[in-house]
Structure 1
Amino acid sequence: MHFYMHIAHKALTSINRMTQNIAPQKNQRLLALDVFRGMTIAFMILVNTPGSWSHVFPPLLHASWHGATPTDMVFPFFIFIVGVSMFFSFSKFDQGLTSELTKKIIKRTITIFMIGLLLNYFPFFNRSLDTLRIMGVLQRIALVYGAASLICISVSIQSIWKIGTGILLTYWGLLYWLGGAEPFSLEGNITTAVDLAILGENHIYKGFGIPFDPEGLLSTLPAIVTAMFGYLAGYTVQSFNDKNLLVKNLLLIGTSTVLLALVWDTVFPINKPIWSSSYVLFAGGIACITLALLIEIIDIRGYNRWTKPFIVFGMNPMIIFVFSGVLSKVMVYIITWKDAEGETVRFYRWCYETIYMGAFPNQAKLASLCFAMTVVSICWAFGYVLYRKKIFIKV
Structure 2
Amino acid sequence: MGKHYGQPVKNRLLSLDVLRGLTIMLMTIVNNPGDWGNVYPPFLHAEWHGFTPTDLVFPTFLFIVGITTVLATPRKVLDRAAGEKILTRFLRIFSLGLFLNFFSKIQIFGLDDVALLAVKLLITALVVAALFGKYDRRRELYVALGVFSLMFVLAFGGFEDYQNVRLPGVLQRIAVVYLVVSLLYLTTSVSTQALIGIGILLAYWAIMTLIPVPGVGEANVEKGTNLAAWLDYLVLPNHLWVTSKTWDPEGLLSTLPAVGTGIAGLLTGALLTANLSEQKKFGYLLAGGVAGVLLGLLWNTAFPINKALWTSSYVLYAAGIALLLLAVLYFVIDYKGSKGWITPFIVFGVNPMVVFFFSGIIPRVLGSIKVNNPSTQITDDRIGLQTYIYKFQIAPYFSDPKAASLAGALVYLAIWFLILYIFYRRKMIFKV
Q: TM-score, normalised by structure 1?
A: 0.88
1:347 alignment partner in structure 2: 385
Which residues in structure 2 correspond to 1:2-151 (within 5 Å)? 29-90=12-73, 92-93=74-75, 95-123=76-104, 125-126=106-107, 128-151=161-184
Candidates 223, 227, 233, aligned match of 1:190: 227
The alignment partner of 2:290 has SS state of helix
Deviation at 1:236, TM superposition (A): 0.6
Q: Quick one: distance in 1 between partners of 2:224 and 2:98?
A: 26
Which residues in structure 2 correspond to 1:143-292 (within 5 Å)? 143-178=176-211, 179=213, 180-181=217-218, 183-200=220-237, 202-207=238-243, 209-292=244-327
RMSD: 1.6
Kindly provide the CA deviation profile for residues 144-173 of structure 1, in whole angstroms up to 9, marking residues without a partner as x: 111121122211100001111111111111
Structure 1 gaps, min length 5: 1-27
The alignment partner of 1:323 has SS state of helix
2:112 alignment partner in structure 1: none
Kindly provide the CA deviation profile for residues 288-336 of structure 1, in whole angstroms up to 9, marking residues without a partner as x: 111000111222233322210111111111112212221111121x221
The alignment partner of 1:274 has SS state of coil
Kindly provide the CA deviation profile for residues 168-214 of structure 1, in whole angstroms up to 9, marking residues without a partner as x: 111111111224436111122111111112111x210032x452210
Deviation at 1:276, TM superposition (A): 0.3
Contact 1:206 1:212 in 2 (8 A): no
Candidates 425, 429, 432, aligned match of 1:388: 425
The alignment partner of 2:431 has SS state of coil
Q: Quick one: distance in 2 between partners of 1:368 and 1:189?
A: 34
Q: Once the two structures are aligned, what percentage of the paired residues are identical?
A: 41
Contact 1:47 1:60 in 2 (8 A): yes
Q: Quick one: distance in 1 between partners of 2:106 and 2:285?
A: 48
Deviation at 1:338, TM superposition (A): 4.2
Structure 2 gaps, min length 5: 1-10, 109-160
The answer to whether structure 1 residue 296 and structure 2 residue 334 are counterparts is no
The one-letter code of the counterpart of 2:384 is R
Q: Which moved more, 1:161-170 or 1:340-349?
A: 340-349
The answer to whether structure 1 residue 336 and structure 2 residue 319 are counterparts is no
Q: Quick one: distance in 1 between partners of 2:169 and 2:179?
A: 15
Contact 1:120 1:132 in 2 (8 A): yes
2:134 alignment partner in structure 1: none
Write 1 or 2 for the structure with the bigger share of helix: 1
Q: Quick one: distance in 1 between partners of 2:403 and 2:59?
A: 27
Contact 2:166 2:240 in 1 (8 A): yes
Deviation at 1:230, TM superposition (A): 0.5
Q: TM-score, normalised by structure 2?
A: 0.81
Q: Quick one: distance in 1 between partners of 2:35 and 2:164?
A: 25
Contact 1:240 1:246 in 2 (8 A): no
Contact 1:323 1:379 in 2 (8 A): no
Following TM superposition, where does structure 1 have runs of at least 4 consecutive aligned residues deviating by more than 3 angstroms?
123-127, 179-182
Q: How many residues align?
A: 362
Q: Quick one: distance in 2 between partners of 1:345 and 1:29?
A: 45
Deviation at 1:251, TM superposition (A): 0.7
